[in-house]
């Protein structure tokens, strides 16, 4: 018995150690399984998010009711409604106002009249003369394609015949003639304005404009078009610099940035990313939209551009703006809401729990935007008080909700990122409670940078940094002009006619050319709709 006990005790110990080792191995494998499952879920989430971004609707709106294209007729059907007769249709149509035709009142009118020939002016029944009973008028919109003409600027030079006879020197007097936009060039203010407007407002690349000029019978190379654009931008820089000075005097600024490709950037490959930065005034100030090209996304760029500015900057949470001195950073609830929208797009169909959590987060943001719509016509002080009354309780409930669900979701999931974004940005998101002029979101900057993004899809890249900065200047002038209800083409044409002929160092003279100036000619303005 003693011999048996000596052999079984060590054996039992060995078995116990093996069991513990297997248990530890199982626990380790279970942990690895959970980690791998979390990674797979994250990758699946990213795939669904990418598919939603590529193939899904770009709008983030959440309509209360979505009308199906297949049952629109049935939803609009009224089975008991009587059919109107012909007299009722005619009467209603004649009494209804045509708003489209009213908008034609400011357009030039060309009248074409049609009379009966003399051989048909007698009555077909009794052969007596016919008389005009009424006029039937049909209106059409006629399009006159762009026409190109050559303008000869002829300046007469005068001399004195008496001095020619009696004096050794004869005075020469020249008639006044406006300075050209580009010396030694046949490019007129209207031609340069036309090229710029087509490229930067209508997103038509220069190579396509080159083809269109050939249709007019003009062989103008895109190199010439590019040179004129850059030289014209050198004049627009006068307006740009003055707008920059006015921007720094504001109290609230929106900022955003997007990528741009520049081929000949020193020290960088042709495929590397550069950046176009945007700075815009707030909704309740004079509209100013300034673009600036820089080779990187470093925080030193907004710090240099906004030197001297003291106020609030509203951004999407990018840390590069934190380096700007003497400013307060405002958050963006549109970006906070977008995190929950992206989480909903990335979730699988059967993910009920996570889906309901993401929808709750989105609804908190929706409530804030719905409340804000009620304050559109209020003054800043009234809006401030209303926000404290109506928006602050929603914010308090939202913060409690965020803190409750933060430990319940995976940090690296889209839902986890959305919740963490809100918590990390919370002190900046609630700054709109401090002043009635602060906006709830940074959508103003995002809308302003869209024209550049659309244009980039057409012209793809810039050749040089100088060209990219010229594009930034032109976009700035055009977008600021559009925000001031100016016609970009006529405004650019007026600038190119005026800038070469004034003292550009006189800020008063330059201010008279800014988009909000009441000194601008009326033809530069877009007619207001009733």
Break the chain into its structural domains and give their ranges.
Answer: 332-432
pLDDT digits (tens, 9 = 90+) for 501-528: 999 999 999 999 999 999 999 999 998 7
Cα distance between residue 89 and residue 213, in whole Å = 49
How much is the pLDDT for 262? 80
Q: Quick one: how many helices (H) and strands (E) in the chain?
A: 19, 7
For 68, the token pair is: 């199906």
How much is the pLDDT for 228? 93
How much is the pLDDT for 490? 96
pLDDT exceeds 80 at position 341: yes
Cα distance between residue 39 and residue 27, in whole Å = 18
Please tell me the pTM assigned to this model: 0.74
- B/e letters for 300-310, b = 16+ CB within 10 Å, e = fewer, are ebbbebbeebe
Cα distance between residue 351 and residue 341, in whole Å = 15
Q: Are 279 and 290 in contact (CB under 8 A)?
A: yes
What's the mean per-residue pLDDT of the chain? 82
How much is the pLDDT for 11? 64
pLDDT exceeds 50 at position 1: no
How much is the pLDDT for 303? 93
Which residue, 64, 66, 59, is CA-closest to 443? 59
Of the ranges 30-34, 65-69, 114-118, 138-142, the best mean pLDDT one: 114-118
For 85, phi and psi rounded to 5 degrees?
-85, 175
pLDDT exceeds 70 at position 54: no
How much is the pLDDT for 232? 94
Cα distance between residue 315 and residue 68, in whole Å = 37
pLDDT digits (tens, 9 = 90+) for 99-126: 555 666 777 888 988 888 888 888 888 8
Q: Are 337 and 355 in contact (CB under 8 A)?
A: no
Residue 250, classed as helix, strand or coil, is coil
Of the ranges 151-160, 242-251, 262-271, the best mean pLDDT one: 242-251
Q: What is the DSSP letter of 199?
A: I
Cα distance between residue 437 and residue 431, in whole Å = 11
pLDDT exceeds 50 at position 87: no
Token pair 């988009």: residue: 515
Centre a 10 Å sphere on the Cβ of residue 180 and count the other Cβ atoms it contains.
17
How much is the pLDDT for 422? 93
pLDDT exceeds 80 at position 315: yes
Residue 290, classed as helix, strand or coil, is strand
Long-range contacts for 515-518 (Cβ within 8 Å, ≥24 apart)? 515/287, 515/480, 515/481, 515/483, 515/484, 515/486, 515/491, 516/286, 516/287, 516/484
Per-residue three-class SS string for 394-444: HHHHHHHHHHHHHHHCCCCCHHHHHHHHHHHCHHHHHHHHCCCCCCCCCHH
Q: What is the DSSP letter of 459?
A: H
More confident residue, 456 or 210: 210
Cα distance between residue 287 and residue 275, in whole Å = 23
pLDDT digits (tens, 9 = 90+) for 6-20: 555 566 667 777 787
Token pair 């106020």: residue: 311
More confident residue, 226 or 19: 226
Tell how strand 274-281 and strand 289-294 pair up.
antiparallel
For 467, the token pair is: 């060209």
């Amino acid at each position: 018995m003693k011999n048996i006990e000596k052999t079984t005790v060590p054996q039992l110990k060995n078995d116990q150690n093996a069991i513990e080792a297997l248990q530890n191995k199982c626990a380790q494998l279970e942990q690895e399984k959970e980690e791998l499952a979390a990674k797979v879920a994250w990758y699946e989430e990213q795939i669904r998010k990418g598919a939603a971004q590529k193939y899904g609707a770009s709008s983030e709106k959440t309509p209360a009711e979505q009308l199906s294209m297949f049952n629109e007729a049935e939803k609009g059907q009224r089975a008991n409604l009587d059919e109107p007769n012909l007299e009722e249709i005619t009467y209603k149509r004649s009494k209804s106002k045509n708003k489209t035709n009213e908008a034609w009142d400011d357009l030039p009118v060309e009248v074409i009249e049609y009379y009966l020939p003399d051989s048909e002016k007698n009555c077909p029944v009794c052969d007596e003369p016919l008389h005009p009973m009424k006029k039937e008028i049909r209106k059409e919109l006629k399009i006159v394609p762009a026409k190109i003409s050559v303008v000869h600027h002829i300046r007469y030079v005068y001399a004195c015949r008496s001095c020619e006879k009696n004096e050794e020197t004869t005075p020469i007097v020249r008639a006044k003639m406006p300075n050209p936009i580009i010396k030694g060039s046949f490019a007129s203010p209207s031609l340069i304005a036309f090229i710029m407007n087509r490229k930067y407002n209508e997103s038509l690349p220069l190579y396509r404009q080159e083809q269109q000029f050939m249709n007019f019978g003009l062989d103008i190379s895109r190199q010439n078009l590019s040179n004129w654009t850059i030289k014209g931008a050198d004049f627009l820089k006068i307006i740009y610099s003055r707008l920059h000075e006015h921007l720094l005097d504001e109290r609230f600024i929106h900022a955003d940035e997007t990528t741009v490709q520049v081929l000949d950037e020193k020290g960088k490959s042709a495929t590397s990313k550069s950046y176009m930065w945007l700075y815009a005034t707030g909704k309740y100030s004079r509209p100013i939209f300034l673009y600036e090209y820089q080779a990187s996304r470093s925080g030193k760029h907004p710090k240099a551009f906004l030197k001297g500015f003291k106020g609030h900057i509203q951004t999407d949470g990018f840390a590069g703006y934190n380096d700007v001195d003497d400013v307060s950073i405002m958050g963006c609830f549109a970006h906070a809401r977008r995190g929950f929208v992206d989480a909903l797009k990335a979730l699988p169909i059967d993910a009920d729990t996570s889906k309901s959590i993401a929808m709750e987060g989105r609804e908190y943001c929706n409530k804030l935007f719905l409340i804000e719509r009620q304050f559109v016509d209020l003054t800043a002080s009234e809006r401030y008080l209303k926000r404290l009354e109506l928006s602050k309780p929603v914010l308090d409930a939202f913060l409690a909700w965020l803190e409750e669900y933060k430990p319940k979701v995976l940090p690296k999931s889209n839902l986890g990122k959305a919740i963490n974004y809100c918590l990390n940005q919370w002190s900046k998101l609630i700054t709109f409670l401090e002043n009635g002029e602060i906006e709830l979101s940074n959508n103003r900057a995002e809308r302003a940078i869209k024209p550049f993004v659309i244009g980039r899809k057409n012209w793809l890249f810039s050749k040089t940094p100088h060209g990219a900065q010229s594009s930034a200047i032109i976009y700035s002038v055009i977008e600021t002009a559009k925000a001031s209800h100016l016609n970009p083409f006529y405004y650019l044409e007026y600038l190119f006619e005026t800038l070469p002929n004034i003292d550009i160092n006189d800020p008063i003279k330059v201010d008279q050319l800014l988009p909000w100036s009441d000194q601008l000619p009326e033809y530069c303005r877009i007619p207001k709709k009733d």
